[in-house]
Amino acid sequence: MTRHKYTIGIDEVGRGSLAGPLCVGACLVRRTLARSLGRVFSGIRDSKQLTPAGREMWFRTISEASRQGLCEWRTVFVSEKVIDERGLSFALRRAIRRLLSKLGVHPRLSRVLLDGGIWAPRSFLFQKTIVRGDETEPLIAAASIMAKVRRDRYMVRLSRRHPAYGFDRHKGYGTKAHYEALRKHGISGVHRKSFLFKFEARSTKSETIDSSVVPAKAGNQNSGFPLSRE
């Protein structure tokens, strides 16, 4: 019987957003450190159940656990352009594949836990998709928190380039204020046009995101594992 060397939790953020990138997070723990990390993660909850301040607190806790070598985390962004050109399912598959590739773990030595509706590549034989996994699996909850905080911070930066849309408030999701801004200003260069057929695209002087992966600007602390984050 295979003894898994690693367990990895994976979750996504931004699937239903009308603008900006998709962000997928992963949190990895070595089997020998799982009990120690479990104590650190006691009481952790899904990012959607936390306040912004609560997510930031857990972001710091998980980052500190990583610096201490107890876990490793990563986030990968896939741009709205790729979502428009290739579809959301493709974007999710690409992000998960990149996450696992960057972690550098052997598929047969890894157990992958994913929140409902997403899957790892078939080479990862020991994977399980769990409905509401972000509510029941601490590693998935940790992945959701890291992805949520990283994407929220990115959307706040994006709001400075596109102040008319209020991305800092709704993070690109379809709130009443966001739809009102779309009716007034049309679609910007960072909106997902495939999600917004009825709105008119307007030219914008702001730079759009053309790469499939949005460069990280935070959270690149070193840890006890020989891994870097994206």
Domain assignment present for 78: yes
Q: Worst-scoring range by mean pLDDT, 30-34, 62-66, 139-143, 222-226?
A: 222-226
pLDDT in tens, 133-189: 999 999 999 999 999 999 999 999 999 999 999 999 999 999 999 999 999 999 999
Domain assignment present for 11: yes
- State the DSSP code for 164: G
At residue 69, the pLDDT reads: 97
Contacts for 154 with CB less than 8 Å, ≥ 6 apart: 20, 21, 23, 77, 214
pLDDT band per the 50, 70, 90 thresholds, residue 201? low
pLDDT band per the 50, 70, 90 thresholds, residue 202? low
At residue 197, the pLDDT reads: 85
Domain assignment present for 120: yes
Domain assignment present for 217: no
What is d(CA 115, CA 12) in angstroms, rounded to the nearest whole number? 8
Domain assignment present for 184: no
| Total domain count, the chain | 1
Domain assignment present for 218: no
Domain assignment present for 209: no
pLDDT band per the 50, 70, 90 thresholds, residue 2? low
CATH number, domain of 152, equals 3.30.420.10
Domain assignment present for 201: no
Residue 33: domain span: 6-157
State which amino acid sits at residue 113: L
